[in-house]
Amino acid sequence: MNATAKYCLGLLLLASLIANVVFICMQARKTPEVPKCSRQMAAGMLKTHKHDGKSLIFSDLSAEEHTVVKEYLMKQADLKLTDSEVATLSDDYIFLIELHLPEKELALRYLDSSGPKPPREAKVVVFHGSRDLLVEYIVGPLPKPTYHRDDTIKRYGKRLQYSGRPVTRVEYGYIFDFLATKEFPKLGRVLQESFAYDGSNFCFVEGMPRGLKSGDRASWYTVFRKMSGIYLHPVGLEIRIDHSSKDPSGFKVLQIFYNGQYFNSSEELRDKYEKGNIKKIVYQPSEDYASLKPRRPPSGLPPQQYEMRGRRYSVQDNQVLYLDWGFAFGLSSLTGMYLFDIRFKGERIAYEVSVQEAIAMYGSSTPAVMLTKYVDSSFGIGRLAHELVRGVDCPYHATFVDTFRYLDTNQAKHYRNSICIFEHNMGRPLRRHFSDFFINDYGGLVNSVLIIRTITAIANYDYIWDFVFYQNGALEVRVFATGYISSAYLIDGSLRYGHQVAKNTLGTLHTHFVNFKADLDVTGTNNYFLTKDMAYHEVQVPWSPERRVQVPKLVEKQLKTENEAALRFDQKIPRYLHIASNKTNKWGHNRSYRIQVLSFNGDHLPESVPEEAAVSWARYKVAITKHKDHESTSSSLYNQNDMWSPAVNFSSYINGESIENEDLVAWISTGFLHIPHAEDIPNTVTAGNGGGFFLRPHNYFDEDPSINSPDSVYLDPSIPSDSCELNPNACLQNEVCMPNLPAFTYNGFDEVIHI
Ligand SMILES: *[C@@H]1O[C@H](CO)[C@@H](O)[C@H](O)[C@H]1NC(C)=O
Ligand SMILES: *[C@@H]1O[C@H](CO)[C@@H](O)[C@H](O)[C@H]1NC(C)=O
Ligand SMILES: *[C@@H]1O[C@H](CO)[C@@H](O)[C@H](O)[C@H]1NC(C)=O
Ligand SMILES: *[C@@H]1O[C@H](CO)[C@@H](O)[C@H](O)[C@H]1NC(C)=O
Ligand SMILES: [Cu+2]
């Protein structure tokens, strides 16, 4: 045991002694009897639904299922798999295991009629280093697999090049080791005098894509100082490494960018530095401006919400029931949160609503950032859903759900409390009216919603993913960005690409675009795509024919093919977009759900740019395609690392097919432009930084279903103000109920990635 460890142990003993004394003192003080709320479901709230277990066909694989899939494949002699714990880049090993979603037709037959349960299958991504191929296998049936088949061609229409694979922990390890042991020793004096490098105080952030054409695997690494909030501490050094070789001894430095100057090798930088004919950086200690440690002691507590009479929703396995709503949920390591079989009053509204992709395109004059186009699902959006913090990430009283994931690992990892579900009083009426003048009364309904959330910390950025269920039958999907901006070392010309936000630090301009999938099924799968807007037209005033006026009129249109319904980012589009049924409501109008986008992307990469094919979903504000099981996602695990010949080229889904009386899928893009500014330090805030969309009933019902909400309040002058019959708030004071909250726990650091 070294001296520091002994010292720590001593402190720990002392701390536990103090804690015990405090605990004993607290026991001694007699606590008054406090009534506690029942944590059981409120009686009668859920009488219209029951959990049926059918949602399990959409549930993520369990820890045991991941294990049996791995063990089954390891036994297949023809695959020649090496355990990923010991595999090198030239071996064949498992990279990812996750649920393979059932085919929609089979799933619907099982859910809606007495069809058989679809086979439960896993999707497994194998990196075949020995054959230079990436292969996706389907393994089934679980829990006792008997078959595996190569699904790559069916899904992607082609074989996948080995160079399109993401970088694994092992490869990162080789790269950082190569720098530390082969290159940095050559730069001893430069690193010492410029950065006070001590062998362990550097961190690296990579730019992507890893080159300029298909097959390139030569990434720029920006060096950041290892201190709290590394992303805001660039030191002024960037290095481009060719790591295309499967043998790490073949890794090479291609360029070095030091204080705004390019060099072809460490030797060149060293020699020029020693001769003194370059612009040097002279080390100065960084201030700790990026730390998130509170700068003053906490005081006060923000308001909390709690459930007076217990929960009004219930979560069983992966199924949630809430008032009139019901849905299944899961978390894909790659694409993040998805919901299936979303029903309101028992009727399916959407088969699937899911996150697909999040991209960010950066500007800078520094080499690593000027190329950067991050395509996050290739890194894994859901992969980085860590434990949520009670009382901050989700309300304290939320229900927390654990997830298991298998990505770049050799056994499923357990992520505690990585999804949260809660009912939330938004503190604003969903609807209300106070009638003055002729009749006096008041009717209102507080906006109480159910939210299911996960938060994914994808390196510097944290994305909050919310699905919000309203009592009027609307579903809102939101994304918010927070966390650290990425930054670059300030050099001449930097200010064209952003603002200076700290000493020597440029906050680099970038876009955030996010793509979602909404597979709506409005009264079944036979749907149409309708648009509505208004236009002014001129009419003669009937009682004054010599005058003409402009009157807004309803403009309705049906778009009949995928091409017509691919609504481009730079196009003026109708404001109302509907997935409609040919069934009508009581008033004779086609029943529909409206897609209402809250914030469109804005400018997209020009289509002439070779990388554009990998993110071609961003060409469209909304695109409607005919449902196909093999067009399940708008992007892929491989799009980032081979942007030039992407595994999924979304624009090819739009190929002239009819979308009349078909099963339709809406691909919805939302986003914002981020020009970093001083207040992004230390963190970007969620307020104002996000996007999303609503799916809202539109002539779907005959009236607003929220009129039946049990939370409705009604007042009129004849009702005594202390009567609780139509106004539960009048009796709130009689609720003798304290929240029964669970103890605070946190284990989120158990599964962090170490390289
Ligand atoms: C660095 O490499 C580039 C491109 O190969 C070349 O044009 C340039 O002359 C090289 N610089 C030096 C100093 O060798
Ligand atoms: C509505 O669509 C269904 C399914 O294609 C079809 O059978 C029916 O005839 C259609 N009804 C009307 C009124 O168009
Ligand atoms: C709207 O409903 C009517 C009546 O069922 C039907 O004839 C018509 O085809 C529907 N229109 C669309 C675009 O679905
Ligand atoms: C992507 O798909 C579109 C539409 O099919 C096609 O025109 C384009 O060439 C494709 N691009 C690549 C790089 O595959
Ligand atoms: Cu941003």
| C-alpha–C-alpha distance, residues 223 and 488, integer Å | 10
Tell me which amino acid residue 288 is.
Answer: D
CA distances from 52 to 25, 57, 321, 330, 690 (A): 50, 11, 11, 17, 36
pLDDT beneath 70, residues of the chain: 1-48, 736-739
Catalytic option among 461, 484, 497, 528? 461
83 three-state secondary structure: coil
Measured in Å, residue 661 CA sits from the centre of ligand 4 at: 27
- d(C-alpha 262, C-alpha 255), whole Å: 7
Predicted confidence at residue 46, as pLDDT, reads 53
For residue 564, the model assigns a pLDDT of 98
Residues 6+ apart with CB under 8 A from 481: 461, 462, 463, 464, 512, 674, 684, 686, 689, 690
Catalytic option among 60, 92, 324, 376: 376
What's the CA gap between 664 and 530, in Å, rounded? 12
Tell whether ligand 1 has an atom less than 6 A from the beta carbon of residue 264. yes
Would you tell me how many other CB atoms lie within 10 Å of the CB of residue 67? 15
Q: What is the CA radius of gyration of the chain?
A: 29
Eight-state DSSP code of residue 143? T
The enclosing H or E element of 16 equals: helix 3-28
Name which of 84, 171, 637, 619 is nearest 381 in CA terms.
Answer: 637
Question: Do 617 and 601 form a contact (C-beta atoms < 8 A)?
Answer: no
Location of structure tokens 């290892």: 226
Backbone angles phi, psi at 436, to 5 degrees: -105, -175
261 lines ligand 1 (CB under 6 A): no
Say if residues 655 and 562 touch (Cβ distance below 8 Å): yes
Q: How much is the pTM?
A: 0.93
> What pLDDT, on a 0 to 100 scale, did the predictor assign at position 734?
80
The Cα–Cα gap between 660 and 71 comes to 46
C-beta 580 within 6 A of ligand 3? yes
Do the beta carbons of residue 528 and residue 582 sit within 8 Å?
Answer: yes
- Reported for 412-415, long-range contacts at CB under 8 A and 24+ positions apart, including other chains, are 412/61, 412/63, 412/66, 412/67, 412/97, 413/751, 414/63, 414/750, 414/751, 415/385, 415/386, 415/387, 415/751
CB neighbourhood size of 14 (10 A): 10
Neighbours of 281 (CB within 10 A): 18
* Length of the chain, in residues: 755
User: CA 282, CA 273: separation in Å to the nearest integer?
Assistant: 12
CA of 345 to the centre of ligand 3 (A): 23
Q: Which residue has the tokens 């996602």?
A: 633
Output the 3-class SS for 593-639. Answer: EEEEECCCCCCCCCCCCHHHHHHHHHHEEEEEEECCCCCCCCCCCCC
Ligand lying closest to the C-alpha of residue 523? 2
Using CA atoms, how far apart are residues 121 and 140, in angstroms rounded to an integer?
Answer: 4
593 forms bridges with which residues in the sheet? 579, 697
Closest by CA to 324, choosing from 58, 591, 709, is 709
Go through the domains of the chain in sequence order and give each one's CATH number.
54-157 (3.10.450.40), 169-275 (3.10.450.40), 313-708 (2.70.98.20)
* Pair 349, 342: CB distance under 8 Å: yes
The closest residue, in CA terms, to atom 9 on ligand 4 is 613
Beta strand 690-698 with 498-502 is unpaired
Measured CA to CA, the distance from residue 501 to residue 479 in angstroms comes to: 25
Query: What is the token pair recorded at 383?
Result: 């992969």
For residue 3, which phi and psi values (nearest 5 degrees)? -65, -40
Q: Catalytic residue at 376?
A: yes
pLDDT of amino acid 750: 80
Per-residue buried b or exposed e for 369-399, using 16+ beta carbons within 10 Å of the residue's own CB: bebbbbbbbbbbbbbbbbbbebeebbbbbbb
pLDDT attached to residue 742: 79
Give residue 587's pLDDT: 98
For residues 505 and 397, give the distance between their C-alpha atoms in angstroms, rounded to a whole number: 40
**Residue 514: nearest ligand to its CA?**
5
Ligand 2 pocket residues where CB is under 6 Å:
526, 582, 661
The per-residue pLDDT for 37 is: 53
Of all helices (H) and strands (E), which one includes residue 272? helix 266-275
Query: How far is ligand 1, taken at its centre, from the CA of residue 264, in Å?
Result: 6
From 530, 579, 584, the mutation candidate for ligand 3 (largest count of ligand atoms within 8 A of CB) is 584
Residue nearest to atom 4 of ligand 1 (CA): 264
Taking alpha carbons only, the member of 630, 635, 586 closest to residue 611 is 635
Say what the pLDDT of residue 347 is: 97
Report the alpha-carbon distance of residue 531 to residue 658 in Å, rounded: 16
Asked if residues 620 and 568 have their Cβ atoms less than 8 Å apart, the reply is: yes
How does DSSP classify residue 383? G
Ligand 3 atom at minimal distance to the Cα of residue 558: 13
Other C-beta atoms closer than 10 Å to the C-beta of 255 total 17
Nearest to 697 by CA among 687, 689, 707: 707
Q: Whose CA is nearest to atom 4 of ligand 2?
A: 526
- Tokens 């695997």: give the residue: 217
Cβ–ligand 4 contact at 651 (below 6 Å):
yes
Task: Answer for the pair 558, 528: CB distance below 8 angstroms, yes or no.
Answer: yes
For residue 268, the ligand 1 atom closest to its alpha carbon is 13
Cβ–Cβ under 8 Å, residues 246 and 171: no
Burial of 50 (0-12, 13-18, 19+ CB in 10 A): exposed
Q: Is 308 exposed, middle or buried (0-12, 13-18, 19+ CB in 10 A)?
A: middle
Please give the single-letter amino acid code of residue 200: S
